[in-house]
Amino acid sequence: MDDTQFKHRVLVTQPVSEAALNRLALFFDVEVRLQDRRLEFDELLASLADKAGVMTNTLNTFDAPLVRKLPKLKAVCNMESDYRNMDLQALTAAGIRATNTPEAASESLANSAWEALLDVLRKAAVSASAESAGVGSYSTKWRRNISFGVNPQIFTVGFHGDGPLLQSLARRAQAAAIPVIASAAQSLSGVPTFASDEFWSRADFVIIAAPESADCMSIRPEQIALMKPDARLISFGPAVVADLPSLFADRLIQCRLAAAATSEQIDHSRQAAENLIASLGFGRHSWHPADLLNPDVICESCC
């Protein structure tokens, strides 16, 4: 018996690597229909009538009138960083996940940075819990077992900068219900922005540099003075420590990333494929794609 009849049907409208196509075929009945022009409403509707997901780009528009006519559609994954073709409000209301594909943040780099950030937040959550319970600092004896039972959502993470990796980290944090904010001078799409004074006073952790940055963003002493007493700066950039004034030394957490993560060849179509797989409930990040644009969409299994 042909097992494709039991698989979700998905559409791919742009060229993808062999690795991405093979990965998709493990989970879905894949139709590849390459096109280099904008499909008219009726054409797009007919192409997606029986599809649960689509990998496409900004040539095709997903607005409320189209979404209403596609009850089977559950995922729209752009194979580029832009997503001006998506009505996120309409997609969210229809329970359709929307993702983009950051252009220069490889999956392993984003994974390494995300795990490092989570580790910082989990340790801080354990410490905060211990102090609030009156038991003082947590010991190294049980610090290794902090992966479960802690709540990193109690912290607000600020992004003092932009770029593909920080965008990916912001999306992952939003999907994990961790509050994120950005300085009004930055341009992380989908992240609430605040004027400088409020940004620095709100954030519990501020990410100031990513591996692709030559150095950290400019930070003034008066900005640091606005931070909460326990707030910290996080840097993923290996060269920024020497550039930070000594005033900031006790505020800085330097996160080291796996060497393999910073040198990996990037396959954007594989990234988009993993987003589609997760959006439809499969793979390692089931229901929580790394580059989710509408984190308020309801999961069918866990939310």
CATH number at residue 257: 3.40.50.720
Same domain? For 241 and 137 the reply is: yes
243 DSSP β-pair partners: none
Q: Amino acid identity of 63?
A: D
Same domain? For 43 and 133 the reply is: no
Residue 150's pLDDT band, with cuts at 50, 70 and 90, is low
Write down the pLDDT at residue 206.
92
Q: What is the DSSP string of 67-90?
A: HHT-TT--EEEESSS--TTB-HHH
Whether the pTM exceeds 0.85: the reply is no
Q: Amino acid identity of 264?
A: E
As a whole number of angstroms, the distance between CA 182 and CA 196 comes to 9
Share of the chain above pLDDT 70, in %: 77
User: 198-217 pLDDT, tens per residue?
Assistant: 999 999 999 886 655 444 45
Same domain? For 240 and 122 the reply is: yes
Same domain? For 58 and 135 the reply is: no
Query: 254: left (phi > 0), else alpha (psi -120 to 50), else beta?
Result: beta
Identify which of 50-64, 127-141, 145-159, 255-269 has the greatest average pLDDT: 50-64
Quick check: 50 and 72 in contact, CB under 8 A?
yes
In this structure, is residue 217 part of a structural domain?
yes
Helix (H, G, I), strand (E, B) or coil at 245: coil
In this structure, is residue 178 part of a structural domain?
yes
Which residue matches tokens 């001006």? 84
Quick check: 53 and 276 in contact, CB under 8 A?
yes
Residue range(s) defining the domain that contains residue 53: 3-103+266-279
Least confident window among 112-116, 125-129, 130-134, 176-180: 130-134
Comparison of pLDDT for 292 and 130, the residue scoring more: 292
Same domain? For 136 and 249 the reply is: yes
H or E stretch including 23? Answer: helix 18-25
The count of structural domains within the chain is: 2
Angle, alpha carbons 25-27-33 (nearest 5°):
45
